[in-house]
Amino acid sequence: MRTLGLIGGMTWHSTVDYYRLINQGVHDRLGGSHLAEILMRSVDFDPVEEWQNKGDWAAMGRLMAGAARGLEGAGAEAIVICANTMHRLAGDITAAVRIPLIHIADATAADVQKKGLMTVGLLGTRYTMELDFYRGRLEDKHGLKVLIPGEPGRTIVHDIIYNELGHGLVRPEARQAYVEVIEDLVKHGAEGVILGCTEIPMLVRPADSPVPVFDTTALHAAAAVDFALSG
């Protein structure tokens, strides 16, 4: 079994889900008492959020590259960033280590294509929705058409992530707000919706959407299990 190196803490709520899903996936595939070989570097999210607000991606890149080097040095054979937004620093990580990065957008796109869909809505932090690192990868590498909410939908989605989900708060009112944003994306042609923040599955369930939703946490964890068991 290959050893996975997880960079978590962004936030810890979804990192817990990664740990659970990866171990459950390995156990389901191998049976017995098998669990995953995992190393984890969990970072303090408060300074990360401050750097995000300031647009200081260089500081975040140094943090993420250092975390990845530490995991590689400890024996990790692949890096898993337990967050969507921090894949903005994927290039910093791949430049810092010799081991592969399992990219969350690739795992998600594979499932979208498996279901035969081409046009998807994308929910996530403002950075994930608006910057090119995520949408561009889905579009340029995988040929998908990606729709994002208009305003005020993007602000609603972003603020609920940071002010509520990141603190473990799940409110019915927030779920309804997301449902309305999803319904608007569907009206504009979305055949499915990517839950492009690893905390959103805490709030949005498949039954809340008129079209398929893609749980990036679960899909990324499954891709990590595939890697771990492919050695």
Residue 156: pLDDT over 90: yes
Which tokens hold the place of 60? Answer: 């975040």
Q: What is the CA radius of gyration of the chain?
A: 17
The two structure tokens encoding residue 146: 């990606």
Judge whether 4-103+219-228 and 104-215 match in fold.
yes
Q: Does domain 104-215 bear CATH number 3.40.50.1860?
A: yes
Three-state SS at 194: strand
**pLDDT band, very low/low/confident/very high, at 99 (cuts 50, 70, 90):** very high
Q: Looking at the predicted structure, is the pLDDT value of residue 210 above 90?
A: yes
Residue 110 has pLDDT above 90, yes or no: yes
pLDDT of residue 231: 75
In 3D space, the residue among 158, 141, 21 whose CA is nearest the CA of residue 90 turns out to be 141
* pTM, 2 dp: 0.96
Output the six-digit token pair for 191.
């055949």
The Cα–Cα gap between 137 and 132 comes to: 8
CATH architecture of the domain formed by 4-103+219-228 = 3-Layer(aba) Sandwich (3.40)
Given the structure tokens 């191998």, which residue do they identify?
Answer: 30
In the chain, domain spans: 4-103+219-228, 104-215
Per-residue confidence band for 225, with pLDDT thresholds at 50, 70 and 90: very high
